[in-house]
Amino acid sequence: MTTPAEGFWGPPTSTVDWCETNYEHFHHVAELFNSVSSLAMVFGGLLALVLHRRVLERRFLAAFAMLAVVGLGSIGFHATLRFQLQMLDELPMLYLALIMVYILVENRPQRRLGVWFPLALFAYAVLSTYLCAFTRGPLQFFLFQVSFASLEFFALARVYLIHRRSQDASARRLFQLGVSAYALAIVLWLSDIQLCPTLNEALPARGIPNPQFHAWWHVLVSCGFYALLMVIAHDRLKTLGQAPGVRWAGGIPFVRGHAPP
């Protein structure tokens, strides 16, 4: 977006500039709402890590930690709109999606596939990193979205299959909450891109502030992703022969499991 005055970080070098007026509130922060809302990912990842560090396998802990890294990268990206920090947002998103694909495919007590599968995921990560980091402009944005979305929708389809076969009412409710938040987040993300002139110019001209849909995307996708992760974790504990259960603390769900008697 056009800046009212050039901010601390200078003109944007990122390949995308979201629908929030740059440096509107602080000289050192390009997009305040998008930066602050990214804390939801950091909080969700760290909270899941703390609650499940002695409950789930390292693959899940890696996913939780990567979610927090995505949030930190997102804060840096939106605060500066520098291309280098954009990569610290987008590339961890790809790596998180690849971890999720591994968790969802290797979902039996013993390894299903050979060593070729993690190697294939690693090769995908290398290729995607190269394509995203060494291209510019709309092409870079397109390549990242294709790379990430293909993994994202594959993972969502696998979680839906978990939901279909689950007989646990609490896990099914978590899925419904998670996918609803995720779907609404995607709608707001698309609206922020497609309706930006209306949101950032027409509405303020009538005294209505920009609703900051991209910031709400951060919050909703964090909530949705966390809930869906709990569904996957619940299924994993069941697969490992434990008796999983969903518990709530302060409105936040987490899973526990124990060996059946």
Q: 52 a known binding residue?
A: no
End-to-end CA distance of the chain: 60
Contact 1, 20 (CB under 8 A): yes
Is 248 marked as a binding-site residue?
Answer: no
6 is in an annotated binding site: no
Q: Could you give the C-alpha distances from 73 to 34, 96, 175, 254, in angstroms and in order?
A: 12, 13, 27, 25
22 assigned ligand-binding residue: yes
**Is 18 marked as binding a ligand?**
yes
Token pair recorded at residue 222: 């964090």
116 is in an annotated binding site: no
**Does 218 belong to an annotated binding site?**
yes
192 assigned ligand-binding residue = no
Residues within the annotated binding site?
A: 17-18, 20, 22, 31, 78, 214, 218
Which residues sit in the known binding site for Ca(2+)? 17-18, 20, 22, 31
What residues form the annotated binding site for Zn(2+)?
A: 78, 214, 218
